[in-house]
Amino acid sequence: MPANATPLSIISRADVEAAGRMLGSRVNRTPLILAEAAGGQLGARIYLKLECHQRTGAFKYRGALYAAATLLEGTGGEIVTASSGNHALGVCLAAAELGARATVVMPETAPAVKRDRARALGAEVVIHGAVYDEARAHAEDLARSRRALFLPSFDHPLIMAAQGTVVLEIEEQLPDLDVLVVPVGGGGLLAGALAARPDLIVWGVQAAGADSFVRSLAAGHQVTIPRISTLADGIAVLAPGRLTLSQALAAHPRLVTVTDAEILAAMRHLLLNERVVAEPAGASGLAALLAGKIPIRGRTAAVVITGGNVMADVLCQALLGGPDGPGQ
């Protein structure tokens, strides 16, 4: 958004509720579990919203299905999108259910497990660009040339509203919730959460090596970072969305960053203590809590574990304590 623009709320709770009514049983109502080890360590009641148990293994299916079903005219047609993986998987499954074709453009850094799953779901997979932002530009060109529907990964009101349905489920499962922690890349989930529950304390967590949303929120306008350096591919973007940033600027969430070492430690904690497999982006919210970056003592908090599509070598790295072995 322009530096002098007035931030506006793009979506409201009513939009999130409308998405929830449409999605209904078409998405999994994912578990909310008590993280006893983390809670005992931090002196708080901490719950984990396991979107790693969502269809396609990540929360992104919610936004992909809602937007595709709303924007496609009838059945058939082609959807083109760009994604490091989880949104692509959501689009692939949504397209299959809606009788459409899917083409996904992934950056070179997209994990092989996500590329392979997209192909298995019947999509055409195009590898282009070093980062998501370059893949997105190519996908937009491709959609124009094919006269196909381009479906963004996060910067669309329908996407934002559907991601907020995660929070509607949490409030039903945990009525006395007072703190919500969500991973942040382009900001779709953050925007949806802010719209769904404007009364909550909401913390967003970014990877320190991909902190464009943190910088943009501080500056009051979109900031594009020069490079990305993180293993958390699911939240690695050079710039936040224009609409998602406007929603955040109007709502004033609190954002922090975590290092890759802190993310790996959180993944290890989840594996050993909760038997939860989380990808790096999915574990980033808990990483911020375990690293003491969010004041949580005495509170009841829910942390969204956004996805579980992770490569085996990254899981091994987490179990060994980081790239240099145990204790690092």
Same domain, 181 and 214: yes
Q: What angle do CA 127, 322, 274 make, to 5 degrees?
A: 95
Residue 18: which residues within 8 A CB-CB, separation 6 or more?
A: 161
Same domain, 283 and 310: yes
Residue after which a domain boundary falls, among 106, 133, 155:
155
Same domain, 171 and 291: yes
Q: What is the pLDDT of residue 99?
A: 92
Same domain, 166 and 271: yes
Residue 289, pLDDT > 60, answer: yes
Q: What is the pLDDT of residue 264?
A: 97
Does a structural domain hold residue 314?
yes
Residue 183: which residues within 8 A CB-CB, separation 6 or more?
A: 189, 204, 205, 206, 232, 234, 235, 281, 282, 284, 285, 304, 306
Confidence of residue 324 (pLDDT cuts 50, 70, 90): very low
Range of the domain at 90: 60-155
Residue after which a domain boundary falls, among 135, 155, 175:
155
Strands 78-82 and 101-106 turn out to be parallel
Give the dihedral of Cα atoms 106, 209, 278, 55; nearest 10 deg.
-30
Q: What is the mean pLDDT of residues 92-114?
A: 91
Best CA proximity match to 188, nearest among 229, 219, 151: 151
Distance between CA atoms of residues 30 and 253, nearest Å: 24
Give the CATH number of the domain where residue 162 resides: 3.40.50.1100
Strands (E) located in 101-146: 101-106, 124-127
Name the percent of the chain lying above pLDDT 70. 95
DSSP H or E stretch at residue 238: none
What six digits make up the tokens of 306? 């956004």
Contact of 94 with 69, CB cutoff 8 Å: yes
Distance between CA atoms of residues 241 and 246, nearest Å: 8
Same domain, 221 and 173: yes
Residue 108, pLDDT > 70, answer: yes
Sheet with strand 32-34: strands edge to edge:
32-34, 45-50, 300-305, 179-183, 201-207, 254-258
Q: What is the pLDDT of residue 321?
A: 77
Same domain, 168 and 311: yes
Q: What would the pLDDT profile of 263-278 be if each residue is shown by its tens digit?
A: 999 999 999 999 999 9
Q: What is the mean pLDDT of the chain?
A: 93
Residue 33 burial class via C-beta count within 10 angstroms: exposed 0-12, middle 13-18, buried 19 and up? middle
Residue 46, pLDDT > 50, answer: yes
